[in-house]
Amino acid sequence: MSATAAQPAAAPSASGGLTHKQILTILSGLILGMFLAALDQTIVSTAIRTIGDDLHGLSVQAWVTTAFLITSTIATPLFGKMSDIYGRKPLFMIAITIFITGSALCGLATSMYMLAAFRAFQGIGAGGLFPLALAIIGDIIPPRERARYQGYFMAVFATASILGPVVGGFFAGQQTLLGVTGWRWIFYINVPIGIAALFVVTRVLHLEHRRRDHRIDWYGASALVMGLVPLLIIAEQGRVWGWASGAAFACYVIGALGVVAFVRVEARMGDDALLPLRLFRGSVFSLGSAQSFIIGMGMFGGMVSIPLYLQIVKGASPTKAGLLLLPLVGGLMLSSLVAGQVTSRTGRYKIFPVLGSTLMVVGLGLLAQVGADTPLWQTDVFMAVFGAGLGMNMQTIVLAMQNAVEPRDMGVATSAVTFFRQVGGSLGTAVFLSILFTNAASNIPKELAKAHVQVPPGGGVDLNDTSKIAQLSPQVRHPILVGFSNAMDLVFLVGACVVVIAIVLSALLKEVPLRTQSGLQAARAAAAATDPDAPDAGGATHDPEHISPTLTR
C-alpha cells in the first residue's frame, strides 16, 4: 500500500521520513493497541478470585491464565513473520479485531472452562499487539531517532500497571453495573478501546509494503505448537502436578521432541522459516534473544513475587498492592526516558543493557534483604532500583535487534524479542513460585516452633488460601509472615543470580552503529540499488551515478 497525499499523517517528507507530528499521529493508534494488551496483563489477575467464585471453578483458575499464555506466545512469531510478508497494517488490525472479539466472548462466559477457551482466543490477538506495534515503529522511525519515542510506550506500561489493579478491583467489587455482573466489565472495557484503536489505525496508518512471494511455514508453526504447549503447560501446572509426575515427564518428552522438530523444519525452510536460523548467525540477534530470555525470567520473577509480598506480608489489598508498585513503575519510566534521550543524542546504547542488568541484580539483591518488619519506604527504594534496571533493558534490546537485521526481517526480529521474553517469563514464574511455596511450607513450621506457638487445627497455614492468615492472632501471624518472607528472600536471591547472566550477555553485545534511515527508507534504498527506476528513500528516482549499494548507518 502506498502513501498518498490524501493522507498527510503518513505522507513522507522530502527526505523520505515522517515529521514529528506525523509520527505522533501514527503513535496514537499504536499506543491504543498496546494499551489493550498491557492493561489486560494486570486487570484480570486482580479479579480472578472473584471470577472463579462466581463461576464455581476457582480450582481451575490457573487454566484461564495458561490458555492465554500459550496462544499469545505461539501467535507472537506468527504475526511477526506474516507481517513481513503481507504488511504490518492488515495484521495489526486483525490482531486488534481478534483481541476485542475474544474480550467480548470472555464477558459472556458461564463457566471457567468456557472462559479459558475464550481467553485462548483472546490471546491469539494479544500475541500480535506488542510486536507489530514495535515493528511499525521500526518501519517509520530511524533507529538513531527511535529512542526518543520509547517514553510514550513506557507511559503506556506505567499507566496500565497502575490502572489495571485499580480498575480490576473496582469492577470485581461491584455486584452489578448497568445490569451486568461487575467482573464482566473487565473484559467488556476492551471493546470500546479496541474499536477506537481500529478507527485510528485505519485513518492514520498508511505504510508502503512490497509483497514478497513466500511460503507460509505451517510445518514450523505446527512444530512450535508441539514444542511450546507442553512446556508452557508444565510451567504453569508443574507445582500442582509435581515436577517428577507422569504428566510432567510426558510434557517434557513431547515438548523436547517438538523443539527438535521445529529446529529441523526451520533449517529446511531457509528464508521462508517462521524464525529463520540465519538470523542467529548474527551475534547481536543471538545475544539479544538470549538476553531477552534471561531478562524475562528476572522480570517476571520480581513482578510476581513483589505483589505477593505486599499482599500477604504487608496485608495490602490487590488494588492497593497495584498502587504500591508505583516506585517500580516510576523507576522503569524514568530510566527508559533517560536511556532514550542519551541514545538519540549520542547514538550509543550498549551501556544501558549492561547498566540495566547490573541494577536489576542490585535491586533483586536488596529485595532479598526485605523481611516481615521492613519499613515500606525501604521496599519502595529497592523496587525503584529494580524498575530502573528493567527500563534500561526493555526497549534498548528491541532497538539493538531491529538495527542489526535487514528491513525485510523487521517483523521477525521484533517478535523474537517478545517471544523469548515471554518464554523466559513463563519459565521464571514457574521456577520462582515453586521455590517460594516449597520453602514457605518448610520455613513456616520452623518459625512457629521458634516462637513456641501452638497452631490450632487448620490454623491459617494453608498456602492455597492465605486470606486466613489475617484472621490469626498477632502471636501466630507474625512467625508465619516471617517464614513466608524468608522464602521470598530466596526467590529474589535466585533471581539475582540468574540476571547475572544478562550482565555477561550484554557485555558481549556488539554495538552496531545506529542507522539514520527508517525501515521503509532502508527498504526503498535497497530496492533502488537493484532497480534504477524504483523510488529512492526520498521518493525520487535514483540517478545511477549516485547510487550507493550500502544502507546508511
Distance CA(149)–CA(19), nearest Å, equals 13
| Lowest-confidence region among 99-108, 136-145, 175-184, 345-354 | 136-145
Q: Report helix, strand or coil for 165.
A: helix
- What mean pLDDT is predicted for residues 77-84? 86
* pLDDT of 543 strictly over 50: no
| Lowest-confidence region among 43-52, 90-99, 524-533 | 524-533
Is the C-alpha dihedral spanning 528, 532, 533, 537 positive or negative? positive
The one-letter code for the residue type at 342 is V
- What mean pLDDT is predicted for residues 313-321? 78
pLDDT tens digits, residue range 89-144? 899 999 999 999 999 999 999 888 899 899 999 999 999 988 888 888 888 888 77
Closest CA to 401 of 152, 146, 209: 146
Q: Which three cell numbers stand for residue 292?
A: 531477552
pLDDT tens digits, residue range 357-394? 999 999 999 999 988 888 989 999 999 999 999 888 88
- What is the widest separation between alpha-carbon atoms in the chain? 90
* pLDDT of 211 strictly over 80: no
| Lowest-confidence region among 100-109, 441-450, 526-535 | 526-535
What pLDDT is recorded for position 33?
83
Distance CA(527)–CA(523), nearest Å, equals 6
- What mean pLDDT is predicted for residues 169-194? 86
More confident residue, 192 or 447: 192
What pLDDT is recorded for position 464?
59
| Confidence category of residue 455, pLDDT binned at 50, 70, 90 | low
User: E strand or H helix at 181, and its extent?
Assistant: strand 180-181
In terms of average pLDDT, the best of 120-129, 297-306, 315-324 is 120-129
- What mean pLDDT is predicted for residues 502-518? 83
Distance CA(388)–CA(362), nearest Å, equals 11
What pLDDT is recorded for position 356?
93
Distance CA(324)–CA(305), nearest Å, equals 13
Distance CA(33)–CA(97), nearest Å, equals 10
User: E strand or H helix at 166, and its extent?
Assistant: helix 150-172
Distance CA(7)–CA(2), nearest Å, equals 10
* pLDDT of 227 strictly over 50: yes
* pLDDT of 431 strictly over 70: yes
- What mean pLDDT is predicted for residues 498-512? 91
- Which residues are CB-contacts of 296 (< 8 A; sequence separation ≥ 6)? 420, 421, 422, 423, 424, 425, 428
Q: What percent of the chain has pLDDT over 90?
A: 18
- Tally the C-alpha atoms within 13 A of residue 74's C-alpha that lie toward its C-beta: 29
Residues 516 and 144: beta-carbon distance below 8 Å: yes
* pLDDT of 326 strictly over 80: yes
* pLDDT of 540 strictly over 50: no
pLDDT tens digits, residue range 260-274? 999 999 888 887 888
- What mean pLDDT is predicted for residues 72-76? 88
* pLDDT of 9 strictly over 50: no
